Structures are given as C-alpha cells and as structure tokens.
Structure 1
Amino acid sequence: MSENKDLIHSSKAPEPVGLYPHARRVGNLLFLSGVGPRKRGSKEIPGVELDENGNIISYDIEAQCHSVFENIRYILEEAGSSWDKIIDVTVFLTNMKEDFPKYNKIYAEYFKDNQPCRTTLGITALPTPIAIELKVIATID
C-alpha cells in the first residue's frame, strides 16, 4: 500500500499499465482505476493465448471474469473496503455479442448478495490484450 493514505497501490493486483494508482480514496468513497484480469508480476492473462506478435489467438471470457473479480477484491481489501461495499460498476467488454451472456451469468454469481448500480459498454479494444475491464466505486469507513 502507498504511504499516501488517499492513493492505494495494491501488492496483489496487477501493476497498472500507466501512471495511476489502483484506487483513490475521497472521503468515504473509494474509486478504483480500470482493473483487468492480468496477474501481478507477469504479463500472463488468464485464459488468453497470444501469437508471437502479441495478437489474440483465443481467449476464455469466463477465466478473465473470475480473474478480474479477484483483482477487484484484492484492491478493495488492501484499501480497507470489501466486496459488499461496492456501489457502482462500469464494465468494458471487447466482444459484447459473444461475451455478454457468459459475463452476465458470472457477474450474477459474484453480486447475488450485493447489487451495485452497473453499466456495461461494448468497446473495440483495451490497452492490453484483454476482453474485460471493470471500473468500480465502493464505500470505505
């Protein structure tokens, strides 16, 4: 975690791909930067197979969903918040037509007890070869 109490740098979530914290606290709100499914300390993306040029050959949206939710949990817990304190989720999918049904089913499993507001957007690409990214707002005591 960062020394600055307002900026959160997780020791478990994947490293940011730019100059930004994993999260920032403002009052009793915690704003998470976009979080993807990558694993900390490597370029590995669960369920993604790349060719020698870094292009996606195949991917498993279900594996990516589970991984991104795990990364969100890491950041929340290290910041002093928790999954049940999520109040808003923005989801970015690179293949809305094929991936939305699978993502929506997994999302319902993770959020069955806590139902934050949600927006899901279909986009053409993300900065790394991932198929899903989440932007989350949670409360924090």
Structure 2
Amino acid sequence: MGHDVIRVGGAPKPVGAYPHARRVGSLLFLSGIGPRVPADNSIPGNVVDADGTLVSHDIEAQCRQVFANVRAVLEASGARFEDLVDVTVYLTDMAGDFEAYNRLYAEAFAGVDACRTTVEVNALPTAIAIELKCVAAFTS
C-alpha cells in the first residue's frame, strides 16, 4: 500500500510542518486548508486596522478561495471534487457566517455526495474565518 506525500505548488503553503495531502491506498487525506491566496499568502476579504488587528472578514470571499484551494490540492493529487467522501468545515463565526457559507458550499459542491460536518471554533492558526479538512476516495 503506497503512502504518497503530496505538496502542491498551486496551493497556499502549509502554516506548519505538514504536507498538503497524503495518499494511503485508495484514500486521499487533505490537511486543513484555508482561504489564503497561493500567489501572495494574503487572506481575501480581511480588513485590518492601522495596528494590523483584524476588524472584519468577508466570508464569501474566503469561501470562494478555500474551495479553489481544495480543488487545487485535489487536482494536483489526481482527484476531483466528486471523489470527496468526507468534509469537515471549521468556522470562527457560526451565527454570522453559516448562511452565506452554506449557500456557497451548495453551489461549489453541486453533484458532490460527500458527508459534511460543520463546527465552530474559537480561532484558527491564522486570521482566517474558515478551514476545510477533507478525505477523498479514488475509484481506480
């Protein structure tokens, strides 16, 4: 059984000592993926004050970017959105962000029959409002 470590140039660099994904047999495990822009590591929709303190975020911009980042890791790994079997979503503001996130998720994941769990967390490792943890299964 192969244990392939996958690092993707077209996805944001991990914020720690871990790969973007790892394939074990027919399963592909993605590390937590956030909405940072791969080209410059910026976080779309974040507004900071003069001291650099986060003032607000745009969950729609972050959703679009994190979904694109997940797609990039899947494609670089030889998988597709349709291969997803389990998605765990972490939000930092369930009350404020769930409605927009849920709508955008339904659009981006149309035709994907993955199980999904959404939980609220106090914080994520960087100033992001959403992170996805995914598992895909290869059919061949």
**TM tier relative to shorter chain:** over 0.9
Work out which of the residue numbers 19, 22, 29 in structure 1 matches 2:20. Answer: 22
Match of 1:114 in 2: 112
Partner residue in 1 for 2:36? 38
Cα distance between partner residues in 1 of 2:29 and 2:39? 23
Paired amino acid for 2:134: V
* 1:90 corresponding residue in structure 2: 88
Question: 2:137 — aligned with what?
Answer: 139
Q: Mean alpha-carbon deviation: is it higher for 69-78 or for 34-43?
A: 34-43
| Counterpart secondary structure, 1:25 | strand
In the alignment of these two chains, the number of paired residues is 138
- Distance in 1 (CA, whole Å) between partners of 2:49 and 2:29 is 35
Separation in 2, partners of 1:18, 1:52: 27
**Per-residue deviation at 1:84?**
0.7
Could you list the runs of 4 or more consecutive aligned residues of structure 1 that deviate by over 3 angstroms after TM superposition? Answer: none
Q: d(CA) in 2 for partners of 1:95 and 1:42?
A: 25
With over 3 angstroms needed to count, the CA separation of the structure-2 counterparts of 1:52 and 1:7, relative to structure 1, is farther
User: How big is the shift at 1:5?
Assistant: 6.6
Q: C-alpha distance in 2, partners of 1:43/1:66?
A: 15
Q: 1:90-123 deviations in whole A, cap 9, x for unaligned?
A: 0000000010010000111112211210000001
Contact 1:55 1:129 survives alignment (8 Å): no
C-alpha separation between the residues in 1 aligned to 2:78 and 2:3? Answer: 11
* TM-score between both structures, scaled by the size of structure 1: 0.93
Alpha carbon RMSD of aligned pairs, Å?
1.4
User: Which residue of the partner structure matches residue 8 of structure 1?
Assistant: 6
**Structure 2 length normalisation: TM-score?**
0.93
Give the Cα separation in 1 of the matches to 2:122 and 2:111: 31
Question: Do 2:3 and 2:25's aligned partners in 1 also have CA atoms closer than 8 Å?
Answer: no
Q: Deviations over 1:35-55 (max 9, x none)?
A: 000012423101111234432
- Percentage of matched positions with identical amino acids: 53
Deviation at 1:139, TM superposition (A): 1.3
**Secondary structure, counterpart of 1:6 in structure 2:** strand
Cross-structure match for 2:77: 79
Paired amino acid for 1:85: D
